[in-house]
Chains A and B, each alone.
Chain A
Amino acid sequence: GESVGLHLPTLSVQEGDNSIINCAYSNSASDYFIWYKQESGKGPQFIIDIRSNMDKRQGQRVTVLLNKTVKHLSLQIAATQPGDSAVYFCAEISTFGNEKLTFGTGTRLTIIP
């Protein structure tokens, strides 16, 4: 079946270092990908998105890379801060298909002071 999965369930990074969170997806019809950040007790918060006609998109301290050949997505966070500690989910959607967002399990990122 369709799935979105993450390679690592947990990641610990020293404050100030860069972090990379990876994600694999299986639905080749997916054309829109989103990274969400979820802090404890809160709803998912949009970080950055990318459409399938792009392979890279940058935001403030974050970069998303999309490799459609191997169906791989990554989120790079530069100069990590304690406030970056959270669970990060990748999600995918086929915007002209079933139009429902499918989430992976998530990666817990811990920033070590």
Chain B
Amino acid sequence: DTGVSQDPRHKITKRGQNVTFRCDPISEHNRLYWYRQTLGQGPEFLTYFQNEAQLEKSRLLSDRFSAERPKGSFSTLEIQRTEQGDSAMYLCASSLASTTGTGELFFGEGSRLTVL
């Protein structure tokens, strides 16, 4: 499978615990995005990387959230001291950006987080 893969697909945790999600983008893609989606809503932008550089972070991304893409390939999204309001689907997407602009975003299947 050469698409965007995310792990784990489902995570159930207790409030206050830390969780980490991993995203492996399409190999030649230089852009990687994290989105959050709650039930009945469209995905909301969290942050994105161009190669290893984190270029933008949403105000939704509180200081409990941190994302990294250390080698410009896979990315991790960590949530510290989880709260029930963090329960959502966390989506990763990748694209190949060029001088003509950003290309099509390909999404993974998402990591569903449930905080008890």
Contacts and interface: CB of A to CB of B under 8 A. Distances in A.
Contact of B45 (A44, A100, A106): A100
B102 interface: yes
Interface in A70-113: 89, 91, 93, 95-96, 98-106
A21 interface: no
Contacts of A44: 43, 91, 107
Contacts of B4: 43
B116 to A, nearest CB: 20
B89 to A, nearest CB: 8
A43 B4 CA distance: 10
B interface residue count range (under 10 / 10 to 19 / 20 to 34 / 35 or more): 20 to 34
A45 B97 CA distance: 19
Of A44, A49, A105, most B-chain CB atoms within 10 Å: A44
A42 interface: yes
B1 to A, nearest CB: 13
Per DSSP, chain B at the interface is: loop
B2 interface: no
Contacts of B41: 105-106
B85 interface: no
Interface string A30-46: 01101010000111111
Interface of A: 4, 31-32, 34, 36, 41-46, 49, 89, 91, 93, 95-96, 98-106
Given A49-B104, A98-B56, A106-B40, 12 more contacts: A31-B101, A32-B101, A34-B104, A34-B105, A41-B109, A43-B110, A45-B107, A95-B102, A96-B101, A99-B102, A103-B43, A106-B41
